[in-house]
A and B are shown apart, each in its own frame.
Chain A
Amino acid sequence: MRRLTLATALLLLAPAAAFAHAGEGIAGGFVGGFLHPLLGPDHVAAMVAVGLWGAFLGAPAIVLLPVIFPLVMACGGILGILGVPLPGVEIGIALSAAVLGLMVALAARPPLWVAALIVGTFAIFHGYAHGAEFPDGADAVAFFAGFVIATGLLHLCGIAFGLLASWPNGRIAVRLAGSAIAAAGIVFLVQLA
Chain B
Amino acid sequence: MMRMRAAFAALVLLAAPEAAQAHVVIEGMSGFSGGLLHPLLVPAHILALLGGGLMAGCQSRRDGIALIAIFAGSLGVASGLVATAYAAQEPGLVLLAATAIAGLGAAYGRPLPLPASAIVVGLVAIALLLDSVPAVPSRAETMLALSGTALTAIALFAFVTMLSVAARPGWPRTGIRIAGSWCAASALLVLVAQLAR
A: residues with CB less than 8 A from B are 6, 10-11, 13-16, 26, 30, 63, 66-71, 73-74, 77-78, 81-82, 131, 134, 139-142, 144-145, 148-149, 152
- Residue of A26, A82, A140 with most partner-chain B CB within 10 A: A140
Residues of B within 8 A of A149 (CB): 182
Task: State which of B44, B184, B196 has its C-beta within 8 Å of the C-beta of A71.
Answer: B184
Q: How far is the CA of A141 from the CA of B182 in the complex (A)?
A: 12
Pairwise interchain contact A82-B196, C-beta atoms closer than 8 A: yes
The 4 closest A-B pairs by CB, nearest first: A141-B43, A74-B185, A70-B185, A144-B189
Task: State which of B10, B43, B188, B189 has its C-beta within 8 Å of the C-beta of A139.
Answer: B43
Pairwise interchain contact B43-A81, C-beta atoms closer than 8 A: no
Is B107's beta carbon under 8 Å from chain A? Answer: yes
Residues of A within 8 A of B43 (CB): 26, 30, 139, 141-142, 145
Residues of B within 8 A of A14 (CB): 14-15
Residues of A within 8 A of B177 (CB): 63, 67
Pairwise interchain contact B17-A15, C-beta atoms closer than 8 A: yes
B86-112 to A contact mask, C-beta < 8 Å, 1/0: 000000000000000000100101000
Pairs A–B under 8 Å by Cβ, sample size 7: A15-B14, A15-B18, A26-B43, A67-B109, A69-B181, A70-B182, A149-B182
Pairwise interchain contact B10-A144, C-beta atoms closer than 8 A: no
B: residues with CB less than 8 A from A are 7, 10-11, 14-18, 24, 43-44, 47, 104, 107, 109, 174, 177-178, 180-182, 184-186, 188-190, 192-194, 196
Pairwise interchain contact B189-A81, C-beta atoms closer than 8 A: yes
Task: State which of A13, A26, A142, A148 has its C-beta within 8 Å of the C-beta of B182.
Answer: A148
Pairwise interchain contact A145-B47, C-beta atoms closer than 8 A: yes
Q: How far is the CA of A71 from the CA of B180 in the complex (A)?
A: 10
Residue of A nearest to B99 (CB): A141
Pairwise interchain contact B186-A81, C-beta atoms closer than 8 A: no
Task: State which of A6, A26, A71, A81 has its C-beta within 8 Å of the C-beta of B192.
Answer: A81
Pairwise interchain contact A10-B192, C-beta atoms closer than 8 A: no
Q: How far is the CA of A68 from the CA of B189 in the complex (A)?
A: 15
Pairwise interchain contact A78-B24, C-beta atoms closer than 8 A: no
Task: State which of A6, A30, A144 has its C-beta within 8 Å of the C-beta of B193.
Answer: A144
Q: How far is the CB of A119 from chain B (nearest CB, A)?
A: 13
Q: How far is the CA of A11 from the CA of B18 in the complex (A)?
A: 15
Residues of A within 8 A of B184 (CB): 70-71, 74
Q: How far is the CA of A67 from the CA of B47 in the complex (A)?
A: 17
Task: State which of B14, B17, B189 has its C-beta within 8 Å of the C-beta of A10.
Answer: B14
Given A74-B186, A77-B192, 11 extra CB contacts under 8 A: A15-B16, A66-B178, A66-B181, A67-B107, A67-B180, A81-B189, A82-B196, A140-B193, A145-B43, A148-B185, A148-B189
Q: How far is the CA of A63 from the CA of B107 in the complex (A)?
A: 10
Residues of B within 8 A of A142 (CB): 43
Known contacts A13-B15, A67-B177, A81-B196: A144-B107 contact under CB 8 Å: no
Residue of B nearest to A63 (CB): B174
Q: How far is the CA of A6 from the CA of B28 in the complex (A)?
A: 31
